[in-house]
Amino acid sequence: MTILDQVSRFLADQPPVLLQGLAGVVVLLGLAAAIAAVLPLLKPEKSYVELRLRISSWWVMVALLAGALLAGWPATVAMFALISFLGLREFLSLAPTRREDRFAILAAYGVLIASYGFIVADLYMFYLVFIPVWVFLGMPFLMAMLGQTRGYLATAATFHWGLVTCVYNLGFAAFLMRTPTVEALPAGAAGLVFFLLLATEFNDVAQYVWGKLLGRHKILPTVSPNKTWEGFLGGWLSAGLLIWFVGPVFTPLSGLGLAIMAVVLPVAGFAGDVTMSAVKRDIGVKDTSHAIPGHGGVLDRADSLTFTAPLYFHLMALYALDRF
Amino acid sequence: MSFLRSLLLILIFRPLALFMTGADVANRERLPLKGPAIIAANHSSHVDTLLMLAIFPSKALRRLRPAAAADYFLRDPVIGWFSRRVIGIVPVARAKAGSGEDVLAPAREALAAGDIVLVFPEGTRGEGETDEMGRLKSGVARLAEAFPDAPVIPVWIQGAGRVLPKGEVVPVPLNCAVLVGEALHWEGSRPAFMDTLRTALLALKAEAPPLRWRDG
């Protein structure tokens, strides 16, 4: 059997809707790249280096995530574990910690491995309580045993905030991959994750574009000076319409559940973005790192996802999935 | 040897350094690709050397030679072999400084051969975790004087002292920033050169992300 046959058989085994969705993303990105190529001709006085960098990085991110989704749940869980690790490392590097906390930082990476271990083992109930209850108790106890009480409460809270956002919340996106095939899913479990990522990132991009085009009135100047009411409302409307019309193609949601998702998910994306901005402002940095050219750090890109992933998961569990 | 070194550095050390530090490099294009050239960096951890070896473009990697204390890195045969053959160190006999012997002779030879020599002018790893810069030793100025055409590139490494502080054995993954400055050139005076270098390093440090490492 030639490689070409293997590839076509592999693709034939995938839900056709998922492949069409991925193709749609490639077309959208191609369109964005074409616009970015034409813009400098129309307005030669402005620099579009940043925009081109952003789009180039999107190609890489889309290729990695699409590859993981097509390869199945182990690859997708590994990919999200990596995203969680990069995010947590960025957060723990910027947040105030104490010299004694080096051991607690190691323990936090251990928590990440254990938490994703519950996803691999498909132990949903264990996953649900592990970080919010047992790590919540265990990490402060470990810090007490390390013997340093100065700044203790603030540091314990810092670690918990990082673990919940970067590991627990992002992990819900990976746990969607464990939805059993017996459930009626239009694009498989991968379709659920695909649509979560599509809706979240589309909301981010729509807010950015509407803000650039129409932005006049600042929404939260003390936290995130570039955010405007026009960007927020435009993004909300665009992403809401996308969820309402495209959601049923990739997810089993319909009716009330779909309507709630369409209204609430864009707001959650905005909330995640603003919350991470407040953290960055407090720490005194603009970006969490330079890991993704044009975008900043992994947390700069995944900030809205830390809010939308658990929301999306819980609405799915409530309205559409029997497993959870 | 050189092939084995490149292989180990690219396939093992580079992924390890990325995992441990994130290797967040600013202005990577300022790194020299051919010698003779001198890189002067601050020093807070063994991770500094690993990180510099990891961020260097593969094609220039065989030219990069970190200067390292002979009394520490050549103290036993195994570490000595590793330091010479894999890390590719240029030994500096710190103990013989001031004895009249030219402790910089190996570094000069490397520069004469067209290598890129990485020096840590602080001489040893800083004690504090706050990444304060220590007093700079003037060996780097003597090297610049001997090779006035070789550019001296200041580099500030932020955060390596938290990944593996002096005296600790277990490294902890945390992001490190590497800020590469504009090349400096020898202009005829050692004190003036050292002043310029110190100012350049402190300017890079000021651009680095803040280190919130509260001392308890």
Predicted confidence band of residue A77 (pLDDT cuts 50, 70, 90): very high
CB-CB neighbors (< 8 A) of B175 in chain A: 89-90, 93-94, 289
Question: What ipTM does the predicted assembly reach?
Answer: 0.89
Question: Are B213 and A102 an interchain contact pair (Cβ–Cβ within 8 Å)?
Answer: no
Looking at residue B216, its pLDDT comes to: 42
Chain-centre distance of CA A320, in angstroms?
A: 21
Which of B165, B175, B210 lies nearest to residue A89, judging by beta carbons?
A: B175
Report strand pairing: B116-119 vs B37-41.
parallel
Asked if omega into B36 is within 30° of 0 (cis), the reply is: yes
Q: Which residues of A touch B29 (CB under 8 A)?
A: none
Q: What value does the mean pLDDT take over residues A220-249?
A: 94
Q: Is residue A305 part of a domain?
A: yes
Residue A254 in any domain: the answer is yes
Report the residue from B25, B165, B173 with minimal CB separation from A89. Answer: B173
Strand ranges across the sheet with B116-119: B24-26, B177-180, B152-158, B37-41, B116-119, B64-69, B90-92
Q: Is residue A46 one of the residues assigned to a domain?
A: yes
Q: Do A86 and B22 touch (CB under 8 A)?
A: yes
CA B121 to chain A, closest CA, distance in angstroms equals 26
CA separation, residue B144 to residues B35, B37, B90, B109, B199 (Å) = 13, 9, 16, 13, 17
Residue A190 within any structural domain of the chain: yes
Name which of B135, B131, B133, B134 is nearest B162 in CA terms: B131
Residue A96 to residue B214, Cβ atoms within 8 A: yes
How many helices (H) does chain A have, and how many strands (E)?
A: 14, 1
- Which is more confident, A140 or B81? A140
Which residues of B make CB contacts under 8 Å with A?
Answer: 22, 24-26, 129, 159, 162, 165, 168, 170, 172-175, 209-210, 212-216
Query: Which percentage of chain A shows pLDDT scores above 90?
Result: 73
CB pair distance less than 8 Å for B213 and A98: yes
**Chain B residues within 8 A of A96 when measuring between CB atoms:** 212-214
Residue B28, amino acid: R
Put simply, the answer to whether B209 touches A94 (Cβ < 8 Å) is yes
- Give the pLDDT confidence score for residue B214 in this predicted structure: 61
Give the number of beta-carbon pairs within 8 Å between A and B.
65
Distance of residue A132 Cα from the nearest chain B Cα, in angstroms: 23
Q: Which residues of chain B neighbour A93 with C-beta distances below 8 Å?
A: 22, 159, 162, 174-175, 209
Separation CA B177–CA A298 (nearest Å): 15
Question: Per the structure block, which two tokens stand in for A170?
Answer: 């992002």
**pLDDT (0 to 100) of residue B86:** 84
Higher-confidence residue: A215 or A168? A168
**What is the model's pLDDT at position B92?**
86
Chain A residues closer than 8 Å to B209 by CB: 93-94, 285
Nearest CA in chain A to B21: A89
User: How much is the pLDDT for A6?
Assistant: 87
**A27-37: average pLDDT:** 92
Average pLDDT, chain A: 93
What chain B holds in terms of domains, given with CATH numbers, is 2-206 (3.40.1130.10)
Residue numbers in B near A99 (CB within 8 A): 129, 165, 213-216
Residues of chain A in Cβ contact (below 8 Å) with chain B: 86, 89-90, 92-100, 102, 105-106, 109, 148, 150-151, 283-285, 289-291
Determine the residue type at A253: L
Range of the domain at A248: 3-319
Partners of A292 in beta bridges: A296
User: Based on the structure, what is the number of domains in chain A?
Assistant: 1
| Residue pair B83/B73 in contact by the 8 Å Cβ criterion | yes
Question: What pairing do the DSSP bridges indicate for beta strands B213-214 and B64-69?
Answer: unpaired
| Full pLDDT tens readout for chain B, 216 residues | 578 888 888 899 999 999 999 998 988 889 998 879 999 999 988 899 999 999 988 888 889 999 888 888 888 888 888 888 888 888 888 777 777 778 888 889 999 999 999 999 887 777 655 567 888 888 899 999 999 999 999 999 998 988 998 888 899 999 999 999 999 998 888 899 999 999 999 999 988 887 776 654
Q: What is the pLDDT of residues A83-110, one digit of tens each?
A: 999 999 999 999 988 888 899 999 999 9
Q: Please list the residues that pair with B179 across neighbouring strands.
A: B26, B156
* CA nearest neighbour of A82 among A61, A107, A105, A56: A61
Q: Write the DSSP string, A294-319.
A: TTBSHHHHHTTHHHHHHHHHHHHHHH
- Cβ-Cβ contacts under 8 Å, B51 against chain A: none
φ/ψ (deg, to 5) at A184 = -80, 95
What confidence tens digit (pLDDT) does each residue in A294-308 have?
Answer: 889 999 999 999 999
Residues in chain B with CB shorter than 8 Å from the CB of A152 are none
Q: Which of B148, B153, B126, B101 is nearest to B48 (CA)?
A: B126
B176 → chain A, closest CA residue:
A93
pLDDT over threshold 60, residue A290: yes
- Whether residue A324 lies inside any domain: the answer is no
Q: What is the DSSP letter of B135?
A: P
Q: Would A263 be classed as within a structural domain? A: yes
Percent of chain A with pLDDT over 70: 100
